[in-house]
Structure formats: structure tokens, C-alpha cells
Amino acid sequence: MSTLPDQARCHALYRQMLRIRRFEERCGELYKQQKIRGFLHLYIGEEAIATGVIDRLEPRDVISATYREHGHALVRGVSMRAIMAEMYGKVAGCSRGRGGSMHLFDVQRGFLGGHAIVGAGLPIAVGLAMARKRLDQGAISVCFFGEGAAAEGEFHEALNLAALWELPVLFVCENNGYAMGTALARSESQTDIHLKAQAYKIRAEVVDGMDVLAVDEAAQRAISAIRADLKPYFLECRTYRFRPHSMFDPELYREQAEVSEWKKKDPLLTFRAQCETAGLLDEAAVQAMEQEIASEIEDAVQFSEQAEWEAESDLLKDVYTPRGAP
Amino acid sequence: MSRTLSYREALHDAHFQALSEDPRVFLVGEDVNCYGGTYAVSKGLADHFGADRVIDAPLSESGFVGAGIGAAMGGLRPIVEVMTVNFSLLALDQIVNAAATLRHMSGGQISVPLVIRMAMGAGRQLAAQHSHSLEGWYAHVPGLRVVAPATVADARGMLLTALADPDPVIIFEHVGLLALTDELPDDAGAVEIDHAAVRREGSDVSLITWGGNLPKALEAARQLEAAGISAEVLDLRTLRPLDDAAIVASVSKTHRAVVIDEMWKTGSFAAEVCTRIMEQAFFELDAPLRRVCSAEVPIPYARHMELAALPSVEQIVQAATEIARHE
């Protein structure tokens, strides 16, 4: 267990994780009501990772993530209204309803997707780091991906390029143990993902992805190291997905006992207990957070319900950039 | 003032100019630095611009094309050289799933001003994994712009225009053209990439092609002229977006067309061109359209077999002659 920070920071970390959890619980309900369609991949159980890492970034840093990225977008400051409206498919969505749950973008906040081809975000993150290094030295490119990506060639190509070209990339592997329904040991001969990064001479460490403070500390170490020498760093955050892979998943590949065992490590429960023991958080404070979050979510839902659909006449808009634009 | 230079030299000069004029531009690809480029296009550039601007990449097509996409999104102007179109299949995910989609999928927030150059085409006895023509596959994909310089002037100028384009542009350089020479003015530079070009005026039949088959079409037109048939040669130059107006204008003038395409006939880009003619100029036609494409076979190594697989001047002349006599 890590040492607890001051009360304000404890509240901020807990509040952020709670915000992701409640938002996604509502998304799951809205999916069942068919307000949200397509695929919906919930992050529930993994909230400590996005919270711990993204909170330590600067505005000049850029982030790329996967199709399980609602939490990352929320922590980065993409508005909940814009995220929810995107999932509704409305033009007020953060990607104008063109992307949906899997493709959240907010360039103003350096949130560059939302990539749904496993492993394909890594080379893009490497290129973003090339640009950051040349245009704003000290800024970094952070890339979130699942352990399933380690089976893709693009994972290995990207790690090699980042190390070879000495680029400021923070690779964050969210190892939840399953690539959809395939357990890590069924798909990888070497299940210690961080060792693959070390093989490319990238500094790499294993982090308890269920412990927000452990993630926060590892992120600080990694980010300051990258800013100092502009070379990559790799965090393998071990975590667990409490919900099915997507809303279509009957979960035939894992035992409920395993899920229950991991739920004892729920990052919200464990962090809350730790804070309460230290006298830094109490029921009243949590209730206040719950109320604020509930009203933020309700506002986002109402906003999305009332938001406009994009005119069909705009169908072909934004396939190409208007000529003369930068 | 003008000077004579090769297609290869024109490509080199275009890179030199692009790297000189814009510090955001860099070239990345396999063997572009120490080796000087597989086809010697980048020879000497590294000495002048350094290893930060002329970057040797490992054999990781998906990795370095993806890095090019990220760098373009991040504000740089990468030129990515892929050794051949065959190797580009290893990067198809990045080109089709990312470069082409990011602008639309992000609701117009992102542009990917990336230039990807690749060698393509047969004729050098490089067999079935280094000789193919797949430009029509890329032209199929909305979000990309696809160009095929067929002349020294276009080799000199298209790269510069592509770099100024805010979206991903793929440039197909047919290996059969590298030694082609022409005289260019000293101040030759950027050329527009929105329109097809009539390379030879004619009145009896349109020979429509692009890239590496333009010299064959021009030779066929010379032979047809000797036989009393006036052939117009239209170089499409840009395959996406396609210059429909130029195609319709030529066919409306000649009322007959042969489309020459080094792709296989099944699903060829020639099929797209023919369909557009039928959709937009059907009543202008006095004869069935004809296609001269590659034989439906992986490109073989043996010289005589390779030549037999490819569109030939004889096939073009024969197809044009047949429809020119059709009343």
C-alpha cells in the first residue's frame, strides 16, 4: 500500500474514479434501452489506470487510446455532455456522431482517439511523439492499449521505433487478462508483457492497476523520466474488467468465482477503505460526490436526448479537409 | 533555361526542394538514408539534410506508415517511402483504417497531411512479389487522394502539391518510368493534381491510361496514326478524385475508348473508368469500350512470360483498330 496524499488529492482521485464508474453504469442502462447502439465496451474495474496516469499529464501532452476509452476522455476533461451525445450519435457529440463509443476525439484537449483496431494506435502514438519532440520539446505522447495488442505486429514495430528513434512515448498497457474472451496464457508464450518492452530496451515496470496510488506514483516516475531524456517508458498495469468485453458477451470463458475474487480488489472500494481508515474520507463526502456526479450525468443525458441529429445532407462532409486549410 | 533530366532525378529534385522549403517535411522509409533509396531517389539527401530529416526505417511498414500518420496529425509533413506497392499491403491497416478515416471519424477535427510514395508495376523481371499494380485498391477508399505521375514534369511537381494537400496522398511511381527523360524548365515546380491531361490530341479513338502505361499508349497512338487512325491519349494523372469531365470530353470527341490498365482485368480500375463512361457518356459511344489489362496471373519472372502478362503496344493497337472500324 502506498502512502496517502493529502485529503484534497484523495478526494479528487476517488471522485474521478467514481465519476467514470457511475457514468459507465448509466451507459450500460442506456444501451439496454437502445439509446446507445453499436458496440459499448465498459471500463468498469479499470478506472484507477486512466485516473492515475492522465491526471499527471500537462495540456501539451497528447493521448491516444482504444475503443474502451470513455474513462480516459472523462479524466482528460472532454465534456461529459459531448461524450454522451457522441454515444447517442448526435451532432453535438465530440466526434459529431461519426465515431460513437469507440471513437471519441477532442483535439483541443489533446485527446486523439478512440482507435478500434487492436495495436494500431501504437504506431500513431509513436508518430505523435515525433511531432511533439520536434515542435514542443518535453511534451509527451501517451498511448493506452490492452494486453491483447502484444500479439499484434504493430505493438512490436512501435516499441522498436520508439526505442530506436528515442521518442517521448509513455506506453500504458492495461492488462486485464483477456483479449475479448481469450485469456492471456492462451494467446502469449510470454505472459509478462513488460518483458517484451524491456527486450526493446525500454524502461518498463509492472504496476498494480487496481491501486490508483500505485498507478499515480508509477506515472509520475515514468513521466518525469520521459520529460528528462525524451525516451520511451512502459507501464504494464495489471487490472481486471468486471463487466463483459462488450454488451454482446455471454462470458463463457471465465468463472464467476474469478470475477468475484477480483472484485475484492475493486479500485474504488479499496481506495475508499484506505482513505476512510486514515480519516481522509467519510460517508458524507462520498454522498456529496455521488450527488454531484448524478446531476452531471443526468445533465449529459438530457443534453443528449435533446441534441440535434446531423443533417443527412452533411453525409460527405469531412471526408476531406476543405482546400486551403492547414 | 531548361535542362534534360530523368524521372528519377525529377523525384530527387522534388524531395530536395520540399526538404529545403519546409522544416516540417521529413522523409522516412526503408533504406532512404545510407543506401540512398532502393531506386536511388533519395541519394545524397541525407548528406544535405541529416539523419533527422532523412530517416532510415526498420522493415516495419505498418509501424513507420502509422508513425507517419501520427506525425502528420501532430503538425509535421512526412513523406513516407514504401519500397513497393506489394510491401504496402503490410501497412494496409494504417492506410485504410486510420489515414483514410481519421478526419471523418473525428467529426472533422483531424487532418492527416501525409504523403506516401510507393514504387509499383512490372517490367523488371522482379516476379510476383515486387511487380504488382494495385493502385485501384487505394483509389477505392474515400479519404485518400491517389496520383500517378506519368511524366518527368509530374514526377517533379506532384510531390510538392501532395505535400501542400491537407489530406493523405498516395503517389504511385511506376518502376518502368524511372529512366524516362524529358526537358524541364529550370524553374519547374509544383503542378496541379486535380485534372487529367490530354497528352496527344486525336479524333478517332481515346486511349485512356495513367502512370507507367502512358509511354505504351503514346507509342500505340504513333503506330495507329501510321495506319490512318487518329488516337487521343488521355493521362488520368489522379485516380481519386477522378476527372470525369476530362474523360467525358475526350469520349464525346472520339466516340470510342480503350482503357489501358496494368491491374488485372477483374475488378480493375479500368472497369471503374468504363462504367463512368457508360453512366455519363453512353450515347456518345459508337463502339463497345475495350480494356487492355494484365493477364490474370501473378507476374512471372521469365522475361517473355512477364511481357506476355502485361498490356502491350500491340494489344492497344489491335483493340483500338477493332473499335475504330466499328460503325
Give me the helix-helix angle, A153-164 and A121-135, nearest 10°. Answer: 20
Cell of B163: 505535400
Q: Does B228 touch chain A (CB under 8 A)?
A: no
Least CA distance to A159: which residue of chain B? B63
Interface size A-B, in CB pairs within 8 Å, comes to 151
Residue with cell 472500494: A269
Q: Report the C-alpha gap between B31 and B39 in whole angstroms.
A: 10
Task: List, for chain A, all residue ranges whose pLDDT scores fall below the cut of 70.
Answer: 1, 324-326
**Are A123 and B78 inside 8 Å of each other by CB?**
no
Residues of B annotated catalytic, as ranges: 61, 130
Identify the pLDDT of residue A325: 55
The secondary element (H helix, E strand) that includes residue B216 is: helix B214-226
Q: Which of B95, B101, B105, B112 to substitute to test the interface with A, most A CBs within 10 Å?
A: B105
Q: How far is CA B177 from CA A307, B124, B317, in A?
A: 55, 11, 21
Identify the pLDDT of residue B325: 83
Question: Could you tell me the CATH number of the domain that includes residue A135?
Answer: 3.40.50.970
Q: What number does CATH give the domain B197-324?
A: 3.40.50.920
Which chain B residues are closer than 8 Å to A96 by Cβ? 107-108
- Could you list the residue range(s) of the whole structural domain that residue A263 is in? 7-314
Which chain B residues are closer than 8 Å to A67 by Cβ? none
pLDDT per position as a tens digit, B222-238: 999 999 999 999 999 99
In a domain, A99, yes or no: yes
Identify the pLDDT of residue B28: 97
Identify the pLDDT of residue B224: 98
**Are A114 and B105 inside 8 Å of each other by CB?**
yes
Please state which of the four CATH numbers 3.30.429.10, 3.20.20.150, 3.40.50.970, 2.30.40.10 is assigned to the domain occupying B2-185. Answer: 3.40.50.970
In a domain, A321, yes or no: no
Which chain B residues are closer than 8 Å to A126 by Cβ? 63, 66-67, 70
In a domain, A245, yes or no: yes
List Cβ neighbours of A277 (8 Å cut-off, separation of 6 or more). none
Please check whether residue B257 is in contact with residue B251, taking contact to mean a CB–CB distance below 8 angstroms. Answer: yes
Q: Does B66 touch chain A (CB under 8 A)?
A: yes
Q: How far is CA B241 from CA A280, B83, B136, B233, B259, in A?
A: 62, 24, 12, 19, 17
Least CA distance to B64: which residue of chain A? A123
| Domains of chain A: total | 1
Q: What backbone torsions phi and psi does residue B127 show, to the nearest 5 degrees?
A: 65, -160
Identify the pLDDT of residue A324: 67
Task: List, for chain B, all residue ranges whose pLDDT scores fall below the cut of 70.
Answer: 327
Q: Does B92 touch chain A (CB under 8 A)?
A: no
Domain with CATH 3.40.50.920 in chain B: 197-324
Identify the pLDDT of residue A22: 98
Q: Report the C-alpha gap between A233 and A207 in whole angstroms.
A: 13
Domain with CATH 3.40.50.970 in chain B: 2-185
Pairing of strands A203-208, A233-238: parallel
Question: Looking at the DSSP assignment, which residues form a beta bridge with residue B234?
Answer: B198, B208
